[in-house]
Amino acid sequence: MTSNIIIIGILIIIMLISLRGCIKHFKGEGGCCGGGSKTVKEPDKKLSGKIIMTKKFKIDGMHCENCTNRVKRMINRIEGVSAKLSLKKKEAVVSYEKEVADSVIVKEIESLGYTVSEVLEVK
């Protein structure tokens, strides 16, 4: 009888620890995707020219700060564009100082395993 109580107690402790990890994960605070629990936000890229347009890319599949850092780093490697990402809104706001096809940015984002569901021009 006491062994059953001990086993039930251990299972409850394991479930509470798992629940805590799940809550952190879905709030974007966990270390999913290999980012660790102390993920540092990727710095913004400064464009030197005049901003000619801004677009929003709606992105599915980002779960944590490390996900947004990966996408931001990939977009910022493209010459003539700079990205700011929002995990809550699941979007990248991309500023352009020169013409870059949407397909180039979509291809880079999707190469990381995320899905672009919509591209909107911001006025």
Beta strand 81-86 with 115-122: parallel, antiparallel or unpaired? unpaired
Per-position pLDDT tens, the chain of length 123: 788 899 999 999 999 888 887 776 666 555 556 555 556 777 888 999 999 999 999 999 998 888 899 999 999 999 999 999 999 999 999 999 999 999 999 999 999 999 999 999 987
Provide the b/e sequence for 43-56 (b: ≥16 CB within 10 Å).
Answer: eebeeeeeeeebbb
Both 62 and 118 in a single domain? yes
Both 21 and 72 in a single domain? no
Nearest to 117 by CA among 57, 75, 72, 74: 57
CA–CA dist 69, 35 (Å, integer)? 9
Residues paired with 104 in a beta bridge: none
Q: What is the model's pLDDT at position 21? A: 74
Q: What is the tally of structural domains in the chain?
A: 2
**36 assigned to some structural domain:** no
Residue 57 sits in a domain whose CATH number is 3.30.70.100
What is the extent of the structural domain holding 9? 2-30
**115 assigned to some structural domain:** yes
